Amino acid sequence: MNGLMKLDRIDINILVQLQKDGRISNVNLADAVGLSPSPCLQRVKRLEQAGFITGYEAHINLTKITDSVTVFTEVTLSGHRREDFMKFENAVREVDELMECHLITGGYDYLLRFLTRSIEHYQEVIEKMLDAQIGIDKYFSYIVIKSPIMKSSVPLRSLIAKHNPVDFGV
């Protein structure tokens, strides 16, 4: 959070615009945030160097390429020592089909999101994880039927508003 306090309104607007379109030209970005191109480019470079911008990526329309299945999985570990969590996390880092892994509070330890070719493929992935003996005691799977809302950008303005009630309007 300390890093966020160093950002001003223009920095926030640059980040918001780049989330919308990472390929926006510097001239168009400068226009959108109310700067001339040279200072805008300097700010983008500063944001990159400071680690606020960690990369640029393309969003792929997977349905145009192949079928896929998204599965959320609740995992409970058999042990709850620090080493047990580390062993599990290190092992699942190597699973290509694992898109997200969250250590959570509540009735189980982790919530995982998998993206696989099919339900059978998901079952193969889970069985391989079980065979690896990485500490899984039990798991429950939830197959996604439909995803009516999926966002790739973070709601930056509303996340920052509580800490710095500045109008970040563009």
Record the pTM. Answer: 0.82
- Whether the pLDDT of residue 22 is over 90: the answer is yes
Q: Do 49 and 113 sit in the same domain of this protein?
A: no
Q: Give the rounded percent of residues in the chain with a pLDDT score beyond 90.
A: 84
pLDDT at 169: 46
Rounded distance between C-alpha atoms, residue 1 and residue 92, angstroms = 28
Q: Do 50 and 68 sit in the same domain of this protein?
A: no
Which region among 23-27, 55-59, 85-89, 136-140 has the lowest average model confidence (pLDDT)?
55-59
pLDDT at 164: 54
Q: Do 85 and 115 sit in the same domain of this protein?
A: yes
Mean pLDDT within 83-104: 98
Which region among 39-48, 115-124, 155-164 has the lowest average model confidence (pLDDT)?
155-164
Q: Which of 97, 127, 90, 128 is nearest to 112 (CA)?
A: 97
- Tally of structural domains, the chain: 2
- Whether the pLDDT of residue 119 is over 80: the answer is yes
Q: Give the rounded percent of residues in the chain with a pLDDT score beyond 70.
A: 92
- Whether the pLDDT of residue 11 is over 90: the answer is yes
Would you say residue 95 lies in a domain?
Answer: yes
pLDDT digits (tens, 9 = 90+) for 31-66: 999 999 999 999 999 999 999 999 999 989 999 999
- Whether the pLDDT of residue 160 is over 90: the answer is no
Would you say residue 1 lies in a domain?
Answer: no
Q: Do 83 and 125 sit in the same domain of this protein?
A: yes
Judge whether 141 and 122 are in contact, CB under 8 Å: yes
What single-letter amino acid sits at 82?
R
Q: Which domain holds residue 51?
A: 9-58
Using 50, 70 and 90 to split pLDDT, how confident is the model at 162?
low
Would you say residue 169 lies in a domain?
Answer: no
Straight-line distance from the first to the last Cα atom of the chain, in angstroms, rounded to the nearest whole number: 23
